[in-house]
């Protein structure tokens, strides 16, 4: 069971426990109800009503209810790059779906995280903050409790979470940097592909060229301002530079790499409890490094 501990400040005078928690944490109304129902909130070590008004210096202690996921543990690679009692950030290998779906009910990253949690003596509900396509590698954020999930989602809505990717794309981009602002839609719900469509959901991708190769390729870094399904893949294809190996959006070339050459290599966010800035990076995977070596 995780804990949130807060020392009441002088500026909190006159506020109730409930109001103080709402002011300082991203607890939803549903979560507050669960706290109340399960007697999770203590004041100076004793149970307290959430409408009580504490004094400066008092300690509010919130013990989070224990939760668990029902994913079957499997031997799927889980590479932790950051972890504490609230948060887990891993480096996902290509070739695995993040979460079980109708078409992929098992052998997912969620199954691997379930095994990792069991092996490390942890019991938490697996909450993926971001998603990556099956053949995209890189950083995945996993919240270990609902308040942590809610806070990071709030940061994402306020554009406080930075996500950067590296991709090898076809062609030589003329501009060293730029922004793709093109709305995305789902033209056929029976198909997986997305498209740039008038009236679609606002979608913004910023790019900068890291290197150009004489053989007709560009290595680019991409920063997402929005996080739509397949956003980078669709946007790069839309401007005539599809991601190498992307069979769905025109970048297929089986001679180069067996998947889209796209890697989520950097994430920064503010820790949902300590508010400390966290920056995590993941090195480019071996298959992309080998590909770049062949282009030199």
E strand spans, the chain: 3-7, 41-43, 46-47, 59-63, 80-83, 87-92, 127-128, 137-143, 162-170, 177-181, 184-185, 195-196, 204-213, 217-224, 262-270, 277-281
- List, in order, residues 6 or more apart from 97 with CB less than 8 Å away: 104, 107, 108, 109, 134
- Count the neighbouring beta carbons within 10 Å of the beta carbon of residue 87: 21
Identify the CA nearest to 65 among candidates 5, 6, 1. Answer: 1
CA distance 16 to 25: 14
Active site residue 133: yes
Which of 39, 58, 86, 133 is labelled catalytic? 133
Q: What distance, in Å, lies between the first and last C-alpha atoms of the chain?
A: 52
- Count the neighbouring beta carbons within 10 Å of the beta carbon of residue 162: 13
Active-site residues, by number, are 133
């Amino acid at each position: 069971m995780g804990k949130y501990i807060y020392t009441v400040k002088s500026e909190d005078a006159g506020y109730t426990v409930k109001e103080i928690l709402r002011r300082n944490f991203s607890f939803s109304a549903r979560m507050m109800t669960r706290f109340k129902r399960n007697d999770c909130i203590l004041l100076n070590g004793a149970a307290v009503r959430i409408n009580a008004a504490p004094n400066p210096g008092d300690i509010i202690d919130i013990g989070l209810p224990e939760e668990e996921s029902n994913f079957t543990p499997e031997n799927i690679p889980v590479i932790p790059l950051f972890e504490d009692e609230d948060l887990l950030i891993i480096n996902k290998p290509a070739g695995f779906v993040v979460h079980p779906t109708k078409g992929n009910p098992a052998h997912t990253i969620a199954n691997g995280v379930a095994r990792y949690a069991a092996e490390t003596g942890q019991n938490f509900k697996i909450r993926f903050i971001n998603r990556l396509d099956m053949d995209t590698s890189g950083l995945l954020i996993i919240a270990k409790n609902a308040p942590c999930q809610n806070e990071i989602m709030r940061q994402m809505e306020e554009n406080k979470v930075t996500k950067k990717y590296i991709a090898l794309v076809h062609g030589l981009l003329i501009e060293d940097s730029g922004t793709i602002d093109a709305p995305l839609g789902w033209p056929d719900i029976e198909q997986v592909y997305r498209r740039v469509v008038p009236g679609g959901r606002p979608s913004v991708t910023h790019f900068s060229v890291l290197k150009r190769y004489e053989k007709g390729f560009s290595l680019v870094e991409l920063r997402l301002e929005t996080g739509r399904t397949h956003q980078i893949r669709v946007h790069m294809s839309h401007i005539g530079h599809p991601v190498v190996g992307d069979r769905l959006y025109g970048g297929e070339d089986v001679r180069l790499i067996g998947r889209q050459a796209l890697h989520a290599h950097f994430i920064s966010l503010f820790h949902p409890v300590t508010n400390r800035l966290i920056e995590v990076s993941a090195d480019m995977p071996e298959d992309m490094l080998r590909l770049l070596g062949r282009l030199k």
